[in-house]
Structure 1
Amino acid sequence: MAAALCPALKRVSLKHMNNLMEWKVPEAAAGGMEVAFPCLEELEFNRCPKLKRIPTMRHFSSKLVRLTIRDCDALSHISGGVQALFPLLEELYIERCRELKSIPSMSHLSSKLLRLTIRHCDALSDMSGEFQASMTSFKYLTIEYCSNLASIPSLQNCTALKVLSISKCSKVVPIILELHSLRSVSIRSCEEACVRIRWPLSCANLEDLKIEHCRELIFDDDLHGGELLPSSCLQSLVIMRCEYLKSVPDGLERRLHSLVRLDISGCPNLSHIPEEFFRGLNQLEVLHIGGFSEELEAFPGMNSIHHLSGSLKELKIIGWKKLKCLPNQLQHLISLTKLKIYGFNGEEFAEALPHWLANLSSLQELTISECQNLKYLPSSTAMQRLSKLTLLNIRSCPHLDRNCLKGSGSERSTISHIPSSNIGVERNSSKNK
């Protein structure tokens, strides 16, 4: 049998080889050699734009722990060649291979796999096979910018998976989350995806959940039924731009006692938030909410927001055209340090902000943006009561911008005590004189 090539070689990196089209194992070695590089642990192809094929994987060491393929635009497929692809492989990165149509079956991946990352593979339409139950070390899965990918394999066997990120995969349809092990989930800009969460029973350890710009979000579990479970570990929940989300399910709040950040916004068909939703969210510090159904004439769920009076530090509230005023329940949020009022742009919205704004005694920053009809701040007396207010931002509010500008602005004296301001075209942070 012929001697192996480079028997001690552990790392091979082919970079910036602009004219490389194929890498072949030498003929002399191929005849009697099972493995060309028996000790190889890391293999990288990077910025080889004309590379059309790479050697059959059986020529490489079974000791390989990291395989990286980046910026190889002409590469159309990666062949496995063996039933178990690299039995010790821990990390597989496939990025910016825009003509790549097929990758090794998930069934062929190493049981030792720790991390799988696939990014910017526009031609990839399918990930064949299933993740195996033997993959007990698999913790990180990232799939991004694969615009033709229609589905991903079931994750039900990935019992160690901790971090899942799927973004900019516009054709992916079903995504089911049902894992005890998950700590962080981000699913973004998957416009056709229906995300199903079998939770909290199956995602009891989840700390960070972000669902953004997806078609629909469904909570499969009966949130009322069954035995009352301990509070979940969830600290951050972001639900943004889910087009077909119509309601926040009753009973969800019973699972959110550890929540620190909550964002439910930009869901144009959402019309229902349970009236007791904010009860028990005693740890909540940051809340972004609004941008709901244009048919609503009042904010849903506000009757329980006073339960956040001792914890909430930052609030961004987003309006829509039918709203005539801010929810008056906000006046109870005496721990607020930052308030952003955004998008109350209806013609019937009040011309002046309410005097109860002065009750927000901890307020340090106030931002008012895209409120087309708003002309006036609360009275000078009310604004003076906001003794901790140090920064005022007013943007894209044409009437209020004009009234707060230096010179003849009628509201100028109302804000003269605030150390820093950013008013319309002024866009500065200087002492008001």
Structure 2
Amino acid sequence: MFLEDKSKDVLKKNARYLRTLLSMDSICGNMFSEFKSVRVLSFRICGGNELPSSIMKLIHLRILNIKKSHIARLPDWISELIHLQTLRAEVEELQLPSTLKYLINLRHLYVPRYVELPTEIGKLTCLQTLGYFRVGDKSGHKIEELGSLNNLKGKLEIFDLEKVGNKEEAEKANLHKKSKLLELNLKWALDREGETTNDEDVLEGLQPHSNLMKLEIEGFKGIRFPSWSPVENVHQDSWVQLDNLIDIRLTWCSECDEIPVFGQLPNLKSLYLYELSCVKFINSSAHESECIVFPALESLEMYDMPKLTEWVHTESVGVSGVKLFPHLQYLVIKRCKQLTNFPALFCSPLKTLDIVDIGSYMPIANIFETELTLLTQLFVRRIDDQGFLPDCLFSSNPNLSVLEIKECRNLRGLPDGLCTIKSLEKLIIRECPNLEHVGVQHSEGSLTCLKELEIEDCNALLHLPCELLGSSLEKLVLENLSSLKNVAEIIDCLPKLARLTWLRILGVPQFSAVGYSRNCILNIDVSMIGSMEIVDGILQGCSLQIKYLNLKGREVWESLPESLQILKLSNFGMEELPDWLGNLSSLIELNISNCKKLRRLPIDVIQCIAKLRYLSISECPGVCFHISQWPEISHIAFIGIDGQRVVAERDDAVRREELWRIFLEQKQHQNSYSKKV
């Protein structure tokens, strides 16, 4: 039953029959004494930060949910709820009482992982859900408390393992007996520089059950991993068979110089390696009994391994035709600056390849030694000696949808065939100062699916083929392309881009325009373009629903898009604004600045713009203001002149007119003073 105010009378009449109470709002604690048969209770506390003592009488309670309350501490009497099976108390800064250990039927405990668990948690032998355990120095908080919790299932994180004394103490956790535990995170403190550790012994004693599916080891400072992990040249019977592992994460294991031979695990789908700073090579050797290495792996990620020089794949004598990574779809290698060798992916259905800051082009060459044909995303960044991408890249991967190349300083060109990738939706090239061409041939057609094109800081690029500007283009960014020769040709294509909503062209010869899609912003500096026809083509030809337009440096124009909501005009040489300005029925904001020749405002025109709420005029010294103008502009909520707020929306009508008069008097005084000076 859901409790609302209008149902409280009905609730009291039927309190003794109620089994489930889910309160939508805060309720007062004195009501609970009536619900003696309730099994499920979920509510928020009405005032204070204590659990109502009347709950103590709910001896049949099985589930208590107070995660939306502000309780600071559970009371000692919580132990009276002897039938309680589930306690959800995900409350910040919660304190748990020592009497919690007497809830012998408790199966599921949900509290934030930074909350300190009570002493002797090991007495809760029925416990199935315990998200974390922090090893302590004192009795009742040591790792042996986990020893009796053999019903734990799901996920368990164990923190502060540096406080475990030795292998024998670690074995008291009995992790190898917890057959329902599927995910295990073993974590040591990261700030242990210079300390002598016993991490290898401790990890040896934390052998998990063979049913484990996910394993994470963080902060381990041993040189070698334990004998229960798959290590080459160790007899098979000497370590537990972790055949059910599907996910392994090794992070911040800064002293280990090799990783286990995980290629033997038949179900491993994801391998994540981060900050293994002493590992120099990885071996995925194949032995006589194996024809597939990493038979199920789909995702491989390697980050920040500064000493890693190579991933070696070798085959034993008499073994040939071994398949490596036959199911690999996602490969990430980042900040492995010494890496010079990586196995060829002969049989891999790789879809995403992300390589950043590896110092050598050779791993990419190795990966593409055989033609990959299923790539959908390719990210390449900071590979200094990369002059070219593989010739087969575009011709062999017709399903490529995302291509990003950044900070490859020696890259000179892209292979031919770019425009044959009809599925390409996003192309980004940045900070490739020696890039000269993008590998497009006129016979290839255009990129009809391309939605986003960004080319920046490529000052050697001479020609940008218009075939890249397809009909689906929504975002176009061209910036700092100082050698580009066909700017006029590119500009001629803009009116044809019916879906374009984001335009930014800066730092290219003879043109400057900036657009922002979410608010449909378009900034055009006419003084840099030099052609009125180009501006007209952009404004009238594009089907941009332009809401924000910033025009700079134009003498005259015939019209502007009626969709405009914000218009900024600057550096214009006209003496007055055109009458058709009143046709901009959607205009909300008008900014006029640095128009030295402007003599008068079309007050009658401004009056026609019914939605105008913001008017700003600055650095227009020739414009005259008069009290008679006020009736025509009084509907404008905010008026600012030369950086001064004249009237604001919060001012009432009488005050607004008074402020306008005060402004005019100040303006007249300033002008008189200026003439005298």
TM range (shorter): 0.7 to 0.9
Q: Which runs of 5+ in 1 are unaligned?
A: 27-34
Structure 1 counterpart of 2:221, which letter? V
Larger radius of gyration: 2
Structure 2 residue 434 is matched with structure 1 residue 364: no
Q: Alpha-carbon deviation of 1:164?
A: 3.0
Q: Which aligned pairs between 1:227-306 and structure 2 lie closer than 5 A?
A: 227-230=289-292, 232-251=295-314, 254-274=323-343, 277-281=344-348, 283-293=349-359, 296=360, 298-300=361-363, 302=365, 305=368
Q: Alpha-carbon deviation of 1:58?
A: 4.1
Q: Secondary structure at the match of 1:412?
A: helix
Deviates more, 1:225-234 or 1:411-420: 411-420
**Aligned residue in 2 for 1:93:** 131
Q: Secondary structure at the match of 1:185?
A: strand
Q: Which aligned pairs between 1:14-163 and structure 2 lie closer than 5 A?
A: 16-17=69-70, 19-20=72-73, 23-25=75-77, 36-47=80-91, 49=93, 51=95, 54-56=97-99, 58-61=101-104, 63-70=105-112, 75=116, 78-80=118-120, 84-94=122-132, 102=141, 104-105=143-144, 107-118=146-157, 125-126=162-163, 129-130=170-171, 131-142=174-185, 147=190, 153-154=203-204, 156-163=207-214
Q: Alpha-carbon deviation of 1:312?
A: 2.3
Q: Alpha-carbon deviation of 1:342?
A: 2.5
Q: Secondary structure at the match of 1:356?
A: coil
Q: Secondary structure at the match of 2:378?
A: strand
Higher helix share: 2
Q: Alpha-carbon deviation of 1:387?
A: 3.9
Structure 2 residue 220 is matched with structure 1 residue 172: yes
User: Matched residues in 1 for 2:366 and 2:263: separation?
Assistant: 25
Structure 2 residue 453 is matched with structure 1 residue 412: no
Distance change >3 Å, CA 403–CA 258, structure 1 → 2: same
User: Matched residues in 2 for 1:414 and 1:185: separation?
Assistant: 54
Q: Alpha-carbon deviation of 1:205?
A: 0.7
Contact between 1:18 and 1:50, CA under 8 Å: does it hold in 2?
Answer: yes
**Aligned residue in 1 for 2:588:** none
User: Matched residues in 2 for 1:230 and 1:181: separation?
Assistant: 17
Q: Which aligned pairs between 1:200-219 and structure 2 lie closer than 5 A?
A: 200-201=263-264, 203-215=265-277
Q: Which runs of 5+ in 2 are unaligned?
A: 1-55, 231-241, 316-321, 462-478, 507-513, 521-537, 543-677
Give me the identity figure in percent.
Answer: 13
Contact between 1:364 and 1:389, CA under 8 Å: does it hold in 2?
Answer: yes
Distance change >3 Å, CA 39–CA 269, structure 1 → 2: same
Contact between 1:361 and 1:388, CA under 8 Å: does it hold in 2?
Answer: no
Considering Cα pairs closer than 8 Å and 6+ residues apart, tell me whether 1 or 2 has the greater RCO.
1
User: Matched residues in 2 for 1:325 and 1:221: separation?
Assistant: 29
User: Matched residues in 1 for 2:145 and 2:325: separation?
Assistant: 35
**Aligned residue in 1 for 2:641:** none
Distance change >3 Å, CA 303–CA 359, structure 1 → 2: farther
Contact between 1:264 and 1:289, CA under 8 Å: does it hold in 2?
Answer: yes
User: Matched residues in 1 for 2:416 and 2:274: separation?
Assistant: 34
Contact between 1:46 and 1:72, CA under 8 Å: does it hold in 2?
Answer: no
Distance change >3 Å, CA 70–CA 158, structure 1 → 2: same
Structure 2 counterpart of 1:260, which letter? Q
Contact between 2:125 and 2:149, CA under 8 Å: does it hold in 1?
Answer: yes
Contact between 1:405 and 1:412, CA under 8 Å: does it hold in 2?
Answer: no
User: Matched residues in 2 for 1:300 and 1:69: separation?
Assistant: 46
User: Normalised by the size of structure 2, how large is the TM-score?
Assistant: 0.49
Contact between 1:79 and 1:103, CA under 8 Å: does it hold in 2?
Answer: no
